[in-house]
Amino acid sequence: MSKDLQLKDWTFELSTAPSSQTELEELLKTKSAQATLQYITENQGTLQQLLMNVIRNDYDQAFELYSEDEEIPEVQNDDELKGLLMPLGATIHETVKDGFNYVGFGFDCSWQEEHGIGVLMYKDRIVQHGGEDHAFLEYMAEDDAKLD
């Protein structure tokens, strides 16, 4: 039985790192994971817009650098940009800070076919972004949690 996470217009398959169904089920029983999922539900629009801002920046940089050499379609708005994305997974990290887990969102996209895009978030703060692995690498969440 797979779990899904809805973020406004996107549906992500929910996982944990390292990923197993048993570990995910256990993690989802924790108060911090429940608080995190409630936070995501209550702030879907804001979180999706923050993700779109990061994705737009990545796309704009790739388009500027590679559009002449590669087939990167030009998009005019976020709706067209969303058409170039496929949500892959949302990773609820075991790392907890102040009662909330870190969450990573991974995407497949047409301009980063090999690496995709990953965004690690803590509540409504972008922690890291880059290739899709940024969504599920636990050490990135651990390192950020130690900063305060």
Could you give the CA distance from residue 113 to residue 102 in angstroms, rounded to a whole number?
25
Return the higher-pLDDT residue of 148 and 13.
13
Predicted pLDDT at 18: 59
Return the higher-pLDDT residue of 54 and 2.
54
User: What is the value of pTM for the model shown?
Assistant: 0.91
Q: What is the pLDDT of residues 76-113, one digit of tens each?
A: 999 999 999 999 999 999 999 999 999 999 999 988 88
- For the cut 90, the answer to whether the pLDDT of residue 23 exceeds it is no
Rounded percentage of the chain residues whose pLDDT exceeds 70: 94
Predicted pLDDT at 1: 33
Q: What is the pLDDT of residues 24-39, one digit of tens each?
A: 888 999 999 999 999 9
| Mean per-residue pLDDT of the chain | 90
Q: Where are the alpha helices (DSSP H) in the chain?
A: 21-28, 31-42, 44-66, 78-82, 138-145
Residue ranges covered by each domain of the chain: 4-145
Q: For residue 148, what pLDDT band results from cuts at 50, 70 and 90? A: low
Q: What is the pLDDT of residues 120-129, one digit of tens each?
A: 999 999 999 9
Q: Could you tell me the strand order of the sheet in which 100-109 lies?
A: 4-7, 10-15, 85-97, 100-109, 117-122, 125-130
